[in-house]
Amino acid sequence: MQLLRGGDTLKVTRLDRLSRSVLHLVTLGAELRERSIGLHVIEQGIDTATMEGRAMFGMLSVLAELQRELIVANTNDGLASARARGRVDSFSASCSWSASKSL
């Protein structure tokens, strides 16, 4: 990031590859704009050089964080359900450590 100069464009495949939170994305977007650095998000077709691209950047950053939080919540629910059924770390409680290493 520090190697980028004014007039450069930072290209990423998806917004969730750039940041883990909306706050960080917004801060990063403001910093890039302040330094006259463009942002191009390939999969979402966002180009912050345009007004529409900046609007989409804001909307999709919120959706990217929502998706990440849903994945974490679903993963935690699945792990809790597995523990309730007697499974630990995706292996049954009766599975020995040596047997699990061979999998």
Q: What angle do CA 75, 79, 81 make, to 5 degrees?
A: 115
Predicted local confidence at residue 75, as pLDDT: 92
Predicted local confidence at residue 36, as pLDDT: 92
Predicted local confidence at residue 55, as pLDDT: 86
Query: In 3D, which of 72, 50, 63 has the Cα closest to residue 16?
Result: 63
Predicted local confidence at residue 103, as pLDDT: 56
Beta strand extents in 1-103 (DSSP E only):
9-12, 38-41, 46-47, 87-88, 91-92
**Reduced to 3 DSSP states, what percent helix, strand and coil does the chain have, rounded to the nearest 5?**
55, 15, 35
Give me the residue spans of the domains in the chain: 9-86
Q: What pTM did the predictor assign?
A: 0.56
CATH of domain 9-86: 3.40.50.1390
Each residue's pLDDT expressed in tens, for the chain with a length of 103 residues: 788 999 999 999 987 888 877 778 878 888 888 999 999 989 988 888 888 888 887 787 778 778 888 889 999 999 898 889 888 765 555 555 555 555 5
Predicted local confidence at residue 76, as pLDDT: 92
Token readout for 68 is 């990440």
Decide: residue 81, CB within 10 A, 0-12 exposed, 13-18 middle, 19+ buried.
exposed
Predicted local confidence at residue 8, as pLDDT: 92
Token pair 């990031």: residue: 1
